[in-house]
């Protein structure tokens, strides 16, 4: 969705950024920060309703692009629209932010739900990167300094917690993909920077902790409820999403950017936690959540509950961008 009214023009072409997943959360906050800094933002959303809402709210320097990051044809069409708007000018940046989280114990996740998690949070990021890389400078005919790619990872990309295994798997993989990509794109002068949020105050994580009843028939029901209580009690302490927007702006504009920005910066407690033996941390987490191995009870009529079928979680997979 693009027209003459909201297509960039003049000097704004030299500071145009594509941001995926702009309808809520970090993506929306990032868009606000970049617009306030004089950028033109091409923001991806998945519905025409969101496109219209954001266009009205953000104004002429925001151009909505309607696509899902897993839809190769739609992504290619969006890249073609941005190319037409830029002319020969290089795209200043690409922020790969769109993502979902599919929580739940790994033994009880439907494989299709796990695949969906990886498809959106990993494969989709590469698909979008491939589509927009020529505009960032992989096409040598473009005019201007090569652009940058910002990958939105997570604290869960280096430290995996129970019941967020599929999400952490996608973010651990994204960290590795980003490092390889950064080294490969040196050929074109395109930098790749990871921004890794910790706890962020967004409605999407509130949804993530709202309901664990889907796994109530599994042996993990008690531990899930305990984890939910911990997350609820700490949910009000998350960073404002705009702080992430500022970190993304820094990654895009710093003269000598870091390869990775953790937001907030690691505390002494978290640094110490990284140095402690993994087994120590495993046992500490198990005690806190009630995941310690207990003596097996005598067989009963309800013994089969430990082997419950995987729980379909597609309807509860959550957008976290």
CA angle 123, 278, 233 (to 5 degrees): 75
Residue whose pair of structure tokens reads 């069409």 in the numeric block: 77
170's CB contacts (< 8 A; 6+ apart) are: 99, 117, 118, 120, 121, 122
Catalytic residue among 167, 220, 261, 313: 167
Q: What b/e sequence results for 264-294 when a residue is b if at least 16 CB atoms lie within 10 Å of its CB, and e otherwise?
A: eeeeeeeeeeeeeeeeeeeeeeeeebebeee
Instruction: Name which of 1, 179, 11, 194 is nearest 92 in CA terms.
Output: 11
Residue whose pair of structure tokens reads 């940046």 in the numeric block: 93
242's CB contacts (< 8 A; 6+ apart) are: 29, 32, 33
Q: Which two tokens stand for residue 58?
A: 């953000």
CB 257 within 8 A of CB 191: yes
Neighbours of 197 (CB within 10 A): 26
Q: In terms of residues, how long is the chain?
A: 321
Tell me, yes or no, if 167 is annotated catalytic: yes
Helical (H) or strand (E) element with 113: helix 111-118
* Residues carrying an active site annotation: 167
């Amino acid at each position: 969705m693009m027209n003459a009214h909201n297509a960039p023009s003049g000097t704004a072409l030299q500071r145009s950024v594509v941001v995926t997943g702009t309808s809520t959360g970090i993506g929306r906050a990032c868009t606000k920060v970049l617009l306030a800094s004089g950028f033109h933002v091409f923001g991806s959303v998945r519905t025409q309703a969101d496109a219209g809402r954001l266009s009205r709210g953000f104004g002429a320097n925001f151009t909505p692009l309607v696509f899902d990051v897993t839809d190769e044809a739609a992504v290619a069409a969006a890249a073609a629209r941005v190319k037409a708007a830029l002319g020969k000018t290089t795209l200043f940046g690409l922020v790969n932010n769109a993502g979902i989280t599919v929580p739940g114990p790994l033994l009880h996740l439907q494989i299709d739900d796990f695949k969906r998690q990886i498809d959106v949070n990993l494969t989709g990021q590469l698909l979008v990167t491939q589509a927009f890389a020529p505009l960032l400078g992989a096409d040598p005919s473009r005019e201007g300094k090569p652009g940058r790619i910002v990958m939105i990872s997570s604290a869960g990309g280096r430290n995996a917690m129970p019941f967020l295994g599929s999400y952490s798997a996608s973010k651990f993989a994204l960290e590795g993909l980003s490092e390889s990509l950064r080294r490969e794109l040196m050929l074109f002068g395109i930098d790749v920077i990871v921004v890794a949020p910790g706890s962020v105050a967004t409605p999407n994580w509130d949804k993530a902790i709202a309901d664990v009843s889907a796994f109530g028939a599994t042996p993990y029901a008690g531990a899930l409820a305990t984890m939910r209580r911990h997350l609820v009690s700490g949910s009000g302490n998350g960073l404002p999403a705009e702080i992430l927007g500022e970190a993304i702006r820094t990654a895009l504009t710093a003269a000598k950017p870091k390869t990775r920005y953790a937001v907030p910066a690691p505390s002494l407690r978290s640094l110490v936690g990284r140095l402690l033996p993994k087994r120590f941390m495993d046992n500490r987490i198990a005690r806190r959540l009630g995941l310690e191995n207990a003596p097996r009870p005598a067989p009963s009529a309800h013994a089969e509950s430990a082997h419950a079928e995987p729980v379909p979680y597609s309807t509860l997979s959550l957008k976290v961008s």
